[in-house]
């Protein structure tokens, strides 16, 4: 018997219906938890709504700073882009939400946690794997996976139970947002051949409507994470929020790609991630200035694996910590400044510098006055091409 349930509450229709549904179906007390991870919503209003729906207790947790430092910063160090495109913004927030659910459940002696994820998505996996890893004794309830309510049935249920239904002016989108980005799904976006309509976007202007003058922004990194913007030191949350608005007004950070979900479904995903797009681009460039070729190429594999693990809900797996250990070691020298030019939807790196720069103009220059001994290249080419020559020789006589 489940007596007390801790529910991850967004304040939206689904999770509001869940409060009533859990109370009725289980006869259980419901405690709601809402995290502020930078989703730009009124937490006070969400709390009031929860109490109106009869929850035993509500927790509003300001988790922005923790999210930025402990989830977003590691993602920056790992240049995390799932399938080369998606900065894993939603994915990063899930293990944090899971750990707060567990914390509250333990403090409140609850026997279960519940969430409003569907059975088709990645979020159910991320939340449940994390909850179970932290506390295997907690039961996890995922009503939306089992209740088979149509949207209309849900609205009827809401009406019968006095749950306010916000008619959102013809915007049929499902939104998830936090500091690191905004995900937009549903409606016309489910047709991958159709361009996303302008009303899907809120954080970015259309590139063609962006200012006709470029804007430059300089980002200073210390040990692989951004610490200052345009020469001004900033706390992580503030820095990311500022860059979201600066890059957003130049139309930078719109992402539209085909994505492979964990449950095997291909989906068309649309995001707005202005700060993430600019910071990762700048960070990658700085790494190429200070890491050796061997480090840069090897790290690309580690980075891709890191993004995959986080996307796949395995934040709590020891492999992620192992990868973090490697990544953190490489970041010791990732200090310096990167200049980015924002213009009509593009964020282009146009300058970089670092006290740990491996760039040597005396080696690189095509001028005659160089320290590089061109004569050694002949011997290098001789040995570098040896395996290829041997193989091609066989091929020429019809073997291999």
Catalytic residue numbers, as ranges: 14, 94, 123, 174
What is d(CA 362, CA 352) in angstroms, rounded to the nearest whole number? 18
Q: Which residues, other chains included, contact 25 with Cβ-Cβ below 8 Å and sequence gap of 6+?
A: 143
Count of CB atoms situated within 10 Å of the CB of 327 = 18
Q: Which residues bind ligand ARG (CB under 6 A)?
A: 90-91, 122-123, 174, 176, 183, 185, 259, 269
Give 129 or 342: the residue with its C-beta nearer to ligand ARG.
129
Q: Which residues pair with 32 in a beta bridge?
A: 7, 58
Give 185 or 285: the residue with its C-beta nearer to ligand ARG.
185
Q: How far is the CB of 265 from ligand ARG (least distance, A)?
A: 10
Give 106 or 256: the residue with its C-beta nearer to ligand ARG.
256
Give 277 or 335: the residue with its C-beta nearer to ligand ARG.
277
Q: How far is the CB of 255 from ligand ARG (least distance, A)?
A: 11
Q: How far is the CB of 117 from ligand ARG (least distance, A)?
A: 7
Q: How far is the CB of 123 from ligand ARG (least distance, A)?
A: 5
What is d(CA 215, CA 230) in angstroms, rounded to the nearest whole number? 11
Please say whether the beta carbons of 66 and 237 come within 8 A: no
Per-residue tokens: 172: 């049929």
Q: Which residues, other chains included, contact 174 with Cβ-Cβ below 8 Å and sequence gap of 6+?
A: 184, 185, 186
Q: How far is the CB of 99 from ligand ARG (least distance, A)?
A: 18
φ, ψ for residue 172 (rounded to 5)?
-90, 30
Give 270 or 289: the residue with its C-beta nearer to ligand ARG.
270
Q: Would you report the helix, strand and coil content of the chain in percent, each value rounded to 5?
A: 45, 20, 35
SS3 call for 116: coil
Q: How far is the CB of 37 from ligand ARG (least distance, A)?
A: 13
Give 83 or 295: the residue with its C-beta nearer to ligand ARG.
83
φ, ψ for residue 166 (rounded to 5)?
-85, 120
Q: If you ran DSSP here, which 8-state letter would residue 86 be given?
A: B
Per-residue tokens: 278: 């600019």
- The helix (run of H) or strand (run of E) holding residue 152 is helix 151-160
Sheet holding 232-233, edge to edge: 232-233, 225-229, 215-222, 336-343, 346-353
């Amino acid at each position: 018997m489940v007596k007390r349930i801790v529910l991850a509450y967004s304040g939206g229709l689904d999770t509001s219906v869940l409060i009533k549904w859990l109370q009725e179906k289980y006869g259980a007390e419901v405690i709601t938890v809402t995290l502020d991870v930078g989703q730009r919503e009124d937490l006070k209003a969400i709390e009031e709504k929860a109490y109106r729906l009869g929850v035993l207790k509500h927790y509003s947790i300001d988790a922005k700073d923790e999210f930025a430092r402990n989830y977003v910063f590691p993602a920056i160090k790992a240049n995390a882009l799932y399938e080369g495109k998606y900065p894993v913004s939603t994915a990063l927030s899930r293990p944090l939400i899971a750990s707060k659910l567990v914390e509250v459940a333990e403090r409140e002696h609850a026997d279960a946690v519940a969430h409003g994820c569907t059975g088709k998505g990645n979020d159910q996996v991320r939340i449940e794997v994390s909850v179970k890893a932290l506390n295997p004794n907690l039961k996890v309830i995922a009503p939306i996976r089992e209740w088979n309510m149509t949207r209309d049935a849900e609205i009827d249920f809401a009406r019968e139970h006095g749950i306010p239904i916000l008619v959102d002016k013809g915007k049929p989108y499902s939104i998830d947002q936090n500091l690191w980005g905004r995900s937009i799904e549903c409606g016309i976006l489910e047709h991958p051949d159709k361009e996303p309509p302008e009303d899907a976007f809120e954080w970015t202007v259309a590139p063609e409507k962006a200012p006709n003058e470029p804007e430059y922004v300089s980002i200073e990194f210390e040990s692989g994470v951004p610490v200052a913007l345009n020469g001004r030191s900033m706390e992580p949350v503030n820095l990311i929020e500022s860059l979201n608005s600066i890059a957003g007004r130049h139309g930078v950070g719109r992402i539209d790609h085909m994505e492979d979900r964990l449950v095997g479904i291909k989906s068309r995903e649309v995001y707005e991630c202005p700060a993430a797009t600019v910071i990762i681009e700048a960070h990658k460039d700085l790494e190429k200035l200070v890491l050796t070729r061997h480090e840069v190429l090897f790290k690309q594999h580690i980075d891709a694996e890191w993004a995959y693990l986080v996307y796949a809900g395995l934040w709590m797996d020891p492999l992620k910590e192992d990868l973090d250990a490697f990544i953190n070691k490489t970041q010791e020298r990732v200090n310096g400044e990167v200049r980015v030019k924002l213009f009509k939807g593009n964020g282009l790196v146009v300058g970089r510098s670092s006290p740990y720069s491996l760039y040597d103009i005396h080696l690189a220059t095509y001028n005659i006055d160089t320290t590089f001994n061109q004569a050694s290249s002949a011997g290098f080419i001789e040995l570098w091409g040896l395996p290829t020559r041997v193989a091609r020789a066989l091929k020429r006589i019809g073997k291999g």
